[in-house]
Amino acid sequence: MRKDSIRNIAIIAHVDHGKTTLVDGLLKQSGTFKKHQNIEDRIMDSMDLEKERGITITAKNTAVFYNDIKINILDTPGHADFGGEVERSLNLVDGALLLVDASEGPLPQTRFVLKKALNKDLPIILVINKIDRTDARIGEVLDEVYDLFIDLGASENQIEFPVIYTDAKKGIGKSKLDDNVDNLTLLFKTIINTIPGPEVNDDHTPQFLITSLDYDSYVGQIAVGRLNNGVLDMNKSYTLCKKKENIKNQKFSALYTFQGLKKILIDKVDSGDIIAFAGIENISIGDTISDNESPIPLPRIKVDEPTVSMLFYVNDSPFSGMDGKFLTTRHLSERLNKEILSNVSLQVINTEKPNIFEVRGRGELQMAILIETMRREGYEFMVSKPQVITKTENRKKVEPMEKVFLDIPEEKVGIITEKLSERKGKMTNLQNHGTGRVNLEFSIPSRGLIGFRSQFMTDTQGAGIMNKLFDGFGEWFGPIPQRNSGALVSDRKGKATTYASLGMADRGELFIKVGTEVYEGMIIGERNREGDLNVNITKEKKLTNMRASGSDNTVPLRLEKQMSLDQCIEFIAEDELVEITPEFIRLRKMELNQTKRALLKKKEKYSGKIVLK
Ligand SMILES: Nc1nc2c(ncn2[C@@H]2O[C@H](COP(=O)(O)OP(=O)(O)OP(=O)(O)O)[C@@H](O)[C@H]2O)c(=O)[nH]1
Ligand SMILES: [Mg+2]
């Protein structure tokens, strides 16, 4: 039975093409807010880190009403590292709005999300957004989208998608560019007419797939998902179907439906809607809530495998425990295991050392977000350099590959090609549009891209655009050269002095300020040549009887290079760690003692892996 009173849709696109902004428009124009209520931009990006970074990290749902039809909208992230969120969201919906920037056109993540939507046979509405951009090239972009559909093997039905041209910022959507329109009514109508209501059966055994988890300090854990069939009732008991067992006699403490950004308490829900419940413990994403006597679980959610792994260590550096609240093995283990309950694309694996955990995910940004979140919660820990996850296929070692798409100024082609070749990249396409900018495409092992982004930004002076797309596995490429500069390493505990910092000017670039507390083995800067250098950054100028001539004061102290968490993760080599505490991010050698480091190096055994095994 089709339920015509409901529509469930996801908004999918490449990063920054305007999904969350379009949801603002739909919320505003559906009367969700009071008149004259002040609404902040990108209201669905509600997490602190989403606001700070200006990107969506987790998919979230909201519900609006249009002519008494309830439209559940899932806003998804566009960054490739959070692709698992898109895959998860597509389980909840009966259609998708594919958003494409009117100037940038379809980009790698457009391809990824569209492929996932087409595989599920979802009807698509194409939204060409940012038509107000002065560099918009709307006709060409439309052609490129058709090409993409064909390339992905879309059926004829799928290709006959409606097209809406939008300015999401102003909340305008039209079918012809010269139409004089000042609202999104056409988009609402197109959603209602193109995307079918959910095909469900209220009389069937109830089946609710837990698709995301939320937490409310008042009611505890909340499960969100779509009631695929049947009815759920506050006064009845249900079975929780987990991966390996079924647990009977579960009761809700609350049932909710969504309205705008709010959850509304309700006693009974019908199938087809996106709903939430509280009160059942030990739930994970992928579990089904079903009938108490004869449950029928739904297939568990599958997402692409992780490609990157990092080791999370209990903090054992000399300053450990100085400002963190949670630092023990148990704290770290519990926190990481809690994360995988709500984050489908992460995996946590115990290593043979109890104080080291392996976390697997989709990319460095996803890892950085997890690390930053834990840090803000009061955790202290250390992480290693990200590694790619290899597999064995036909008795051969294979590693993840990536396609990289670059849009760079013409004069940077030489340097970028050289850098990527060093990292085992192979150019597969070059297009010079004659506008001074060139599009390059490389095939490269993912390993070669670790730490490349900041290098790329420096080399292109911020004028380059880089996108990447996972491209299966390729035969292991052998060693790839790492950072070719060494580290400046403190050789003792103490406080960095002005005198010693001035002395570093010809050695390299410092990461720490004068006055920073350091310990032996802590990395205080990047050396301007190969090999690490142990230095005394705490040295004081010897006092003499003669008064100094004042020449000290005239030598300017170069400002230290302030490294963000993301940059630190990119910077470290295999024998180094990033130490994270709520107040500090420090870099260090795995082995802090310089004599032992020298010995290890001599034996040429020194690498992250050997330290672990
Ligand atoms: N000029 C113009 N800018 C827009 C339009 N829509 C969105 N933007 C801007 O584009 C930027 C990205 O918008 P978001 O809504 O965050 O994009 P997103 O697709 O949700 O991004 P992710 O969730 O991180 O993938 C913001 O600076 C918006 O103000 C538009 O129609 N015209
Ligand atoms: Mg967004």
Chosen domain end from 291, 321, 344: 291
pLDDT tens for 170-187 read 999 999 999 999 999 999
What integer best gives the mean pLDDT of the chain? 91
Please work out whether the CB of residue 21 comes within 6 Å of at least one atom of ligand 1: yes
Determine the residue type at 452: F
C-beta separation of 490 from 532 below 8 A: no
Co-location of 112 and 70 in the same domain: yes
Co-location of 75 and 186 in the same domain: yes
CA-to-CA distance for 417 and 456, rounded, in angstroms?
A: 11
> Is 273's pLDDT higher than 70?
yes
pLDDT number for residue 547: 54
Q: Regarding predicted confidence, which is higher, 608 or 483?
A: 483
> What number does the ligand 1 atom closest to the CA of 109 have?
25
Within-domain flag for 259: yes
What is the percentage of the chain residues whose pLDDT exceeds 70?
96
Give the pLDDT band (50/70/90) at residue 484.
confident
Co-location of 274 and 229 in the same domain: yes
Q: Name the closest-CA residue to atom 9, ligand 1.
A: 18
C-beta separation of 335 from 75 below 8 A: no
Of the listed ligands, the closest to the CA of 164 is 1
CA-to-CA distance for 37 and 21, rounded, in angstroms?
A: 17
Ligand 1 center to 43 CA (angstroms): 12
Q: How far apart are the first and last CA of the chain?
A: 58
pLDDT number for residue 608: 46
Interval 226-252 mean pLDDT? 95
Range of the domain at 543: 304-377+483-613
**CATH for 102:** 3.40.50.300
The four Cα atoms 368, 84, 354, 371 give a dihedral, to 10 degrees, of 20
Co-location of 179 and 214 in the same domain: no
Please work out whether the CB of residue 17 comes within 6 Å of at least one atom of ligand 1: yes
Of the listed ligands, the closest to the CA of 109 is 1
Co-location of 29 and 47 in the same domain: yes
DSSP state of 531: S
DSSP state of 492: S
CA-to-CA distance for 232 and 254, rounded, in angstroms?
A: 11
Determine the residue type at 478: G
SS3 state of residue 388: strand
The residue among 80, 72, 142 whose CA lies nearest residue 113 is 80
pLDDT number for residue 612: 38
Within-domain flag for 385: no
pLDDT number for residue 453: 83
pLDDT number for residue 461: 86
Co-location of 32 and 123 in the same domain: yes
Ligand 2 center to 104 CA (angstroms): 16
Q: Name the closest-CA residue to atom 2, ligand 1.
A: 130
> Is 482's pLDDT higher than 90?
no
Ligand 2 center to 42 CA (angstroms): 7
Q: Name the closest-CA residue to atom 7, ligand 1.
A: 18
C-beta separation of 94 from 28 below 8 A: no
Co-location of 162 and 235 in the same domain: no
**CATH for 260:** 2.40.30.10
Co-location of 24 and 161 in the same domain: yes
The residue among 234, 228, 206, 224 whose CA lies nearest residue 293 is 206
Please work out whether the CB of residue 60 comes within 6 Å of at least one atom of ligand 1: no
Co-location of 16 and 91 in the same domain: yes
C-beta separation of 381 from 314 below 8 A: yes
Please work out whether the CB of residue 132 comes within 6 Å of at least one atom of ligand 1: yes
Within-domain flag for 383: no
Please work out whether the CB of residue 56 comes within 6 Å of at least one atom of ligand 1: yes
> What number does the ligand 1 atom closest to the CA of 133 have?
1
> Is 593's pLDDT higher than 90?
yes
Ligand 1 center to 108 CA (angstroms): 17
Co-location of 266 and 395 in the same domain: no
The residue among 421, 441, 286, 446 whose CA lies nearest residue 364 is 446
Other beta carbons within 10 Å of 1: 14
Chosen domain end from 439, 454, 475: 475
pLDDT tens for 275-321 read 999 999 889 889 999 999 999 999 998 877 888 999 999 999 999 99
Within-domain flag for 396: yes
* Two tokens, residue 404: 């990289």
pLDDT number for residue 345: 87
Q: Regarding predicted confidence, which is higher, 433 or 244?
A: 244
| Structural domain count of the chain | 4
Please work out whether the CB of residue 18 comes within 6 Å of at least one atom of ligand 1: yes
Chosen domain end from 420, 452, 475: 475
* Two tokens, residue 57: 């990290």
Co-location of 571 and 463 in the same domain: no
Helices (H), 162-302: 185-194
Ligand 2 center to 127 CA (angstroms): 15
Q: Is 583 exposed, middle or buried (0-12, 13-18, 19+ CB in 10 A)?
A: exposed
> Is 52's pLDDT higher than 90?
yes
Ligand 2 center to 224 CA (angstroms): 19
